[in-house]
Amino acid sequence: MKADHRATLLQRQIFSPGLFSVTFSCPELAQTTRAGQFAMVDVPDRIQPYLRRAYSVADADPAAGTVEFLLKTIGRGTSALERLPEGSAVRLLGPLGNAFTVSDLARGARVAIVAGGIGAAPFPMLLKALARAGVSSDFYFGGRNARELALAARFAGSVTGEVVLSTDDGSLGEKGFVTQALARRLSGGASYARVYACGPMPMFAALAKVVRPAGLSSEFSTEAEMGCGFGACLGCVIPGTEKPFIVSCSEGPILSPEKIKW
Amino acid sequence: MTTKPLGVRLGPLALANPITTASGTFGYGLEFTDFVDLASLGGLCTKGLSLKPHAGNPPPRICETPAGMLNAIGLQNVGIDNFLAEKLPQLRALGATVIANVWGDLEDDYVTVVRALEGAEGIAAVELNISCPNVRQGGMLFGNSPPLTRALVAKVRAATMRPLIVKLSPNAPDLVLSARAAHEAGADILSLVNTFVGMAIDPETARPRISFGTGGLSGPAIRPIAVRMVYEVAKALPGVPLMGIGGIAELSDVLEFLAAGATAVQVGTASFKDPGVSGRLVRELAAYCETKETTVAGLVGRAHRAGSVGGEAGAEG
């Protein structure tokens, strides 16, 4: 059940300037969160940011009682968390939203995880869940340049299949978009029981064109600016195919690409 | 001191306490059941209900601003039929005091929705939204013109026996004139204020941050203006029950609006940031009244009473 939890910042790890993780002590949230869900993070006593921020839970350790977020410094919320002293108290509202589907996959199945930049955020926990289910995961991780892929270090040792890195400028891994790297392997005969993806909207639009003709089951973790995170403000809608708007926080954030109007 | 120190009476509407939640910031109430005992609130104002389901505006719909936010949701809602069939029975089962917020494009739309509500059980009052700044028709157009306000309220008044609240627009040229028009046309209670029309522009793209262009500003940023407006309307229309709205997040904010002349308040944007805030304010207000040995009724309008502004003690008796 979702609740507003007190949490304490235990640790911050910097991967490169502006790319970091924060780990909080928050036992209840650590026990209740499933891969793909998110929390609304409130850094207290601030005029700005006024609203909470929605961040995917990157990983949760029920035994240690910790939850981790992978973040990129973009606006006031992430800047505040980049500077927040260790030991500080925050509030975490969660777990919110739906989760990635894992339970329907057969042992021995193979899936692809496609991440664009900070879109890698929800995947450490998913990789663990897939590994527990005996599912092999190929991890496609793309960014504009090598610096954007500094988070790859966070995934060392946790990917059970192939790691495919790509950069727009070719400074690391394959040159081009991560969706092109996936398309090349699919046309080379690779097959996946599911494609999990998280990244910017242009990446989703390109990926939808790759997975839909191939008839691949897909789950996209969408991003929208959220006011509340639990379906009250209706600020985070995404244009839909079955109805005008999908409420990203309460009906998502994990959505099938067929439901999204591109 | 009465046995129920938190109880308030706003004309024909009696509430167990003065803490209610503002329309548009509390969904249909059901989104908050993990955080608030709905029965503990004085009341909850539903998302604005229209005749037909309404899709609302395309995204982006919200943007954060200093101490607040802009929104142009565009009154997305499930429509009156779905509300009555699906939402209201659940709210009744939870013991909520339901204030149905109503809007329309045309006068007749308001009347039709209010008539549909008239047959339903479990609605404590109707609140007319004549002040939404985020739709092209209706909404604020009614609220910004005293003659249109008067005509609409009179028509709706004739269609309902229920306590009638009219939610005023702070964007009206003269709020006191609008308030007077609504009251004279039959409003039992006035709620004020709705959001202020604002705008935020992305400095890189030079485009508005909200697809609608402008949006309604809410949150603590508007509180001093809202307090001033409640104070002015209370002074101009003594005896007309008011519900104060604008950036309420703390007990001190509640006390401020009561002092300005509101008999009840509506908690708005704060519920997004802190979904349990309304229930907590009820508990804090109860503790405050007990400690101070006072009633909420005794806290209403203190700023208007001789002596209280000058600092003389004992004004609240």
Q: Do B268 and B232 form a contact (C-beta atoms < 8 A)?
A: no
For residue range B15-69, list pLDDT tens digits in order.
999 999 999 999 999 999 999 999 999 999 999 999 999 999 999 999 999 999 9
Residues of chain B with Cβ-Cβ distance to A239 below 8 Å are 58-59
Residue B220, SS3? Answer: helix
Which of A42, A233, A243 shows the shortest C-beta gap to B25? A233
Which of B25, B61, B63 shows the shortest C-beta gap to A237? B61
For residue range B161-212, list pLDDT tens digits in order.
999 999 999 999 999 999 999 999 999 999 999 999 999 999 999 999 999 9
What is the distance between the alpha carbons of residues B101 and B50, in angstroms, rounded to a whole number?
9
Contact at CB, A42 and B63, closer than 8 angstroms: no
Nearest one of A220, A253, A256 to A237, comparing CA atoms: A253
Q: Residue B134 has what pLDDT?
A: 78
For residue range A240-250, list pLDDT tens digits in order.
999 999 999 99
Residue A255, SS3? Answer: strand
Within 10 A of B222 (CB to CB), how many other CB atoms are there? 24
Active site residue B132: yes
Which of A1, A231, A237 shows the shortest C-beta gap to B59? A237
Return all residues near A235 (Cβ < 8 A) that are at least 6 apart.
A224, A225, A226, A227, A228, B61, B62, B71, B73
Kindly state the average pLDDT of the residues A24-28: 98
For β-strands A174-175 and B8-10, DSSP reports them as: unpaired
Kindly state the average pLDDT of the residues A81-104: 96
- Rg of chain B over Cα atoms, rounded to whole angstroms, equals 18
Q: Do B140 and B116 form a contact (C-beta atoms < 8 A)?
A: no
DSSP state for residue B242 in the 8-state scheme: E
At B267, give phi and psi (nearest 5°): -85, 130
DSSP state for residue A19 in the 8-state scheme: E
A230 Cβ under 8 Å from any chain B Cβ: yes
Q: Residue B131 has what pLDDT?
A: 86
A106 Cβ under 8 Å from any chain B Cβ: no
Nearest one of B201, B195, B249, B199 to B222, comparing CA atoms: B195
Bridge partners (DSSP) of residue A14 are: A20
* Residues written for chain B: 317
Is residue B140 within a helix (H) or strand (E), and if so which, with residue range? helix B140-143
Tokens 């939204």 sit on residue: B129
Q: Residue B315: is its pLDDT beyond 50?
A: no
Torsion of the alpha carbons at A186, A141, A26 and A232, rounded to the nearest 10: -70
Bridge partners (DSSP) of residue B128 are: B102, B166
Q: Residue A45 has what pLDDT?
A: 64
Question: What percent of chain A stands above pLDDT 90?
Answer: 92
Residues of chain B with Cβ-Cβ distance to A46 below 8 Å are none
- What confidence tier does B3 reach under pLDDT thresholds 50, 70, 90? low
Q: Residue B313 has what pLDDT?
A: 43
Residues of chain A with Cβ-Cβ distance to B76 below 8 Å are 234, 237, 245
ipTM above 0.95, yes or no: no
Which of B27, B31, B219 shows the shortest C-beta gap to A50? B219
Q: Residue B314 has what pLDDT?
A: 41
DSSP state for residue A243 in the 8-state scheme: S
Total beta-carbon pairs less than 8 A apart between chain A and chain B: 92
Residues of chain A with Cβ-Cβ distance to B69 below 8 Å are 50-51, 227
Q: Do B206 and B176 form a contact (C-beta atoms < 8 A)?
A: no
Residue A226, SS3? Answer: coil
Is the torsion defined by CA of A81, A86, A87, A93 positive or negative? positive
What is the distance between the alpha carbons of residues A191 and A39, in angstroms, rounded to a whole number?
33
Return all residues near A168 (Cβ < 8 A) that are at least 6 apart.
A142, A143, A144, A145, A175, A176, A177
Q: Which of B45, B63, B132, B289 is catalytic?
A: B132
Residue B56, SS3? Answer: coil
DSSP string for residues in B160-193: --S-EEEE--TTSS-HHHHHHHHHHTT-SEEEE-
Substitution target in A1, A74, A93, A228 with the highest count of B β-carbons within 10 Å is A228
Chain B residues with CB-CB distance to A under 8 A?
A: 24-27, 31-32, 34-35, 55-56, 58-69, 71, 73, 76, 219-220, 271-276
With 0-12 / 13-18 / 19 or more C-beta atoms within 10 angstroms meaning exposed / middle / buried, residue B119 is: exposed
Two tokens at B176?
């006191």
Substitution target in A237, A248, A250, A261 with the highest count of B β-carbons within 10 Å is A237
Nearest one of A56, A58, A168, A178 to A112, comparing CA atoms: A178
| Min Cα–Cα distance to chain B from A143, Å | 22
Helix axes B175-184 and B146-157, enclosed angle (nearest 10): 20
* Residues written for chain A: 262
Q: Residue B307: is its pLDDT beyond 70?
A: no
Of A72 and B1, the structure prediction assigns the larger pLDDT to: A72
Peptide bond into A95 cis (omega under 30): yes
What is the distance between the alpha carbons of residues A9 and A103, in angstroms, rounded to a whole number?
32
Which of A47, A52, A234 shows the shortest C-beta gap to B73? A234
Torsion of the alpha carbons at B248, B184, B144 and B20, rounded to the nearest 10: 20
